[in-house]
Structure 1
Amino acid sequence: MRVLHAVTLHSPSHAFGGPVRVALNLAKGLRARGHEARLLALGEGFDPWPTSVEGVPAKLFPARRLLPLGFSGITSPALLASASRLVRDADLVHVHLARDLVTLPLALAALRCGKPLVLQTHGMVDPSDRILAKVLDAVAVRRLLRGADTVLYLTPHEREGLDAVAGSPLARAVRLVNGTPAQEERPPLGGPPRILYAARLQARKRPVDFVDAAPAVLAVHPDAEFVVAGPDEGELSAVRARVAALGLGDRFTVPGALSGAGVLAELRRAHVYVLPSVDEPFPMSVLEALAVGVPAVVTHSNGLARDIAAAGAGRAVAPGPRTVAEAVLDLLDPAVNTRASAAARELAASAFSMDAVLDTLTAVYEGAGRR
């Protein structure tokens, strides 16, 4: 089967985050099973321009920023002009849908061409009072949700939101969790405690809470080291300012955006992974930490919070620096960390393996093809 995975943007800094990682993981898994999966997206910041990403054949169009609306304001006239041809070359089109000028036109082109269409929204399409969202919902999103062969959702909360946007319960919706490839186990750690944040630096993810949790951790572990890694989406200056205000420049490393291999290298050195964000649907960075065996600290509104807490693979806490610091200190106890590390790997392997995700996805594709 020739499967086209369409996502908004791929860049060396991984600015678009989780949806690209999910698309690549699924495409690699499908290719390993004999399917011809490829990636279609806008590209930005490449030199030279790639024709594949992590072994997945890719067609990337140079991004053009038309409106000051973040990812919603970027597109490519060349991509729009060739959208129908691109989807006709596939047996099935899998669109990682957002309210933007990339994935919406591609999904509409697949609908017009009568191609089997699978939508996966990653929590990016939810009820909104913003004028632009309302316009796009009326013009395109509602039609796509109702017309797709299958809509994939992560959590019951996301499903409720999609039903609300569609205006009625979706007829064909399937829950598909994010999967993570198996990883080598984190080696035995020595030296000072190392606490890692590796995600986009944006307000919702609360990287400043991570910084503000450091003094309480350092009061018990004065040699602890902290890493804040990820592409800047508005919070880098606040992170640097807070580190400076606390006088912790020698305790913090802020390396910027890391490659996938770079993130894994940091995870293998980390004692604890922290993502203090709120309303996080299903973060790939946490899944990658669990796969390596790094206990994770997340907030209660994280889509993985219940799984992590139930498995003992980390801690789920109320938002805020105090609760984050308390959870980190708990997980820095060597015996606790050892147990949580083993539980993290077991949870990743049992609940979020790529094999289980791909079994569900290929069944979805087969059903979409029959329809």
Structure 2
Amino acid sequence: MRVLHAVTLHSPTHAFGGPVRVALNLSAGLRARGHDARLLALGDGFDGPLPGEVEGVPARLFRARRLLPLGFSGITSPALLAAAGRIVRDADLVHVHLARDLVTLPVALAALRAGRPLVLQTHGMIDPSDRRLAKVLDALAVRRVLRRASAVLYLTGHERKDLEAVAGPPALGGTVRLVNGVPAQQPRPTPTGPPRILYAARLQARKRPRDFVAAVPEILRHHPDAEFVLAGPDEGELASVRALIAELGVGERVHCPGALSGAGMLAELRRAHVYVLPSVDEPFPMSVLEALSVGTPAVVTASNGLARDIADASAGRVVDGAAGLAPAVRELLDPAVNEKASAAARKLAAEAFSMEAVLDTLLAVYGTSYADNQA
């Protein structure tokens, strides 16, 4: 089957975050099973020509152009918009990682016009909103594609309710729960040397990187040789983070290497004793799944979509707020506790979030969508 995965933006800094990682993981898994899966997206931040593949997945990237000062919603490519109809006609099925933007919405509409089966996956990005732009896009396109899609994939019951609220009557297309999957990884070696605590996510307010920095002094009081890595592309918080590092006098212990490549992310996770993601209302973070897959215990907040799984499996710690971060990290730095949590993390990733199980579910959705479209 020829499957086109459309996502908003791919860049060397991984600025668009989890949806791109999901699209790449799914595409790679589909290709391993003999399907022709390809990626369609904007490309930004590359020196020279845009690449023709990403991590072994053939990719059609178009140079990003900013039309409006509205974050990802304000970027597009006239060339992509002009070519969308032809590109979707070359696919047997179009899988769009949908956001309210000028990339994925036009591709979804093009798939409907071309009569191609359309599968939508929204990653928590489509929810009820009072913003003027959101209301306009919902009226012009979002409701139409949600209602006419062959299938709409959701992560949680909360996300499904949000999608139903946005779509309104008549109902959504067929809904199917699909968790994010993570490829099997080699386990990390037993951590050695000074404790190493990692944050690896976008530096934006919702991710709470300042909470990570604020926990550093207390951890250092008990582990004065500890090292902290705060990695990720800046989305408005880097200056504030650096100011707090200076204010707390922990500049020699906190390193800010910027964005990590996919390989760099896995390398850092394997070196880390503990992974910390303080963000709130995080639907289903790929970075946490990747940490679990290599056996690095994770500390997350209670509003994280993986919190219950981590707590039930004892694969890390769940905290109510910023004040709980340092005590949770300190607990996981005990070697015996860390070893037990590491084994639990690997087991959780393998049993609940394996890529093979996710692909089985996805291919069943594809088969039904394609058959219904041909009927």
Bin for the TM-score computed over the shorter chain: over 0.9
- Aligned mate of 2:206, from 204, 207, 212: 204
- Structure 1 CA distance for aligned equivalents of residues 222 and 305 of structure 2: 30
- Structure 2 CA distance for aligned equivalents of residues 170 and 70 of structure 1: 27
Post-superposition shift, 1:170?
A: 2.6
- Aligned mate of 1:230, from 204, 228, 232: 232
- Structure 1 CA distance for aligned equivalents of residues 218 and 156 of structure 2: 34
Matched position secondary structure for 1:249 = coil
- Read off the aligned partner of 2:65 and give its amino acid letter: R
- Read off the aligned partner of 1:230 and give its amino acid letter: G
- Read off the aligned partner of 2:11 and give its amino acid letter: S
- Structure 2 CA distance for aligned equivalents of residues 278 and 319 of structure 1: 9
How does 1:1-371 map onto structure 2 within 5 Å?
Answer: 1-48=1-48, 49-168=50-169, 169-320=171-322, 322-371=323-372
Matched position secondary structure for 1:268 = helix
- Structure 1 CA distance for aligned equivalents of residues 192 and 289 of structure 2: 23
Decide whether the 8 Å contact of 2:148 with 2:173 is kept in 1: no
Decide whether the 8 Å contact of 2:149 with 2:173 is kept in 1: no
- Structure 2 CA distance for aligned equivalents of residues 68 and 102 of structure 1: 15
Relative to the length of structure 2, the TM-score reads: 0.98
- Read off the aligned partner of 2:32 and give its amino acid letter: A
- Structure 2 CA distance for aligned equivalents of residues 113 and 268 of structure 1: 45
- Structure 2 CA distance for aligned equivalents of residues 215 and 41 of structure 1: 42
Matched position secondary structure for 2:14 = coil
Post-superposition shift, 1:47?
A: 2.4
Matched position secondary structure for 1:281 = coil
Post-superposition shift, 1:171?
A: 4.4
- Structure 2 CA distance for aligned equivalents of residues 72 and 332 of structure 1: 41
> Percent same amino acid at aligned positions?
77
Q: Deviations over 1:77-98 (max 9, x none)?
A: 0000111001000000000000
- Read off the aligned partner of 1:174 and give its amino acid letter: V
Matched position secondary structure for 2:284 = coil
Q: Deviations over 1:89-113 (max 9, x none)?
A: 0000000000000000000000111
Matched position secondary structure for 2:86 = helix
- Structure 1 CA distance for aligned equivalents of residues 246 and 172 of structure 2: 50
- Read off the aligned partner of 2:221 and give its amino acid letter: A
Q: Deviations over 1:190-227 (max 9, x none)?
A: 11110000000000000000000111111111111100
Number of residues of Structure 1 aligned to a counterpart in Structure 2:
370
Greater than 3 Å deviation, 4+ residue runs: none
Matched position secondary structure for 2:215 = helix
Decide whether the 8 Å contact of 2:278 with 2:299 is kept in 1: yes
Unaligned 5+ segments in structure 1 are none
Decide whether the 8 Å contact of 2:75 with 2:101 is kept in 1: yes
- Structure 2 CA distance for aligned equivalents of residues 317 and 130 of structure 1: 31
Post-superposition shift, 1:319?
A: 1.9
Relative to the length of structure 1, the TM-score reads: 0.99
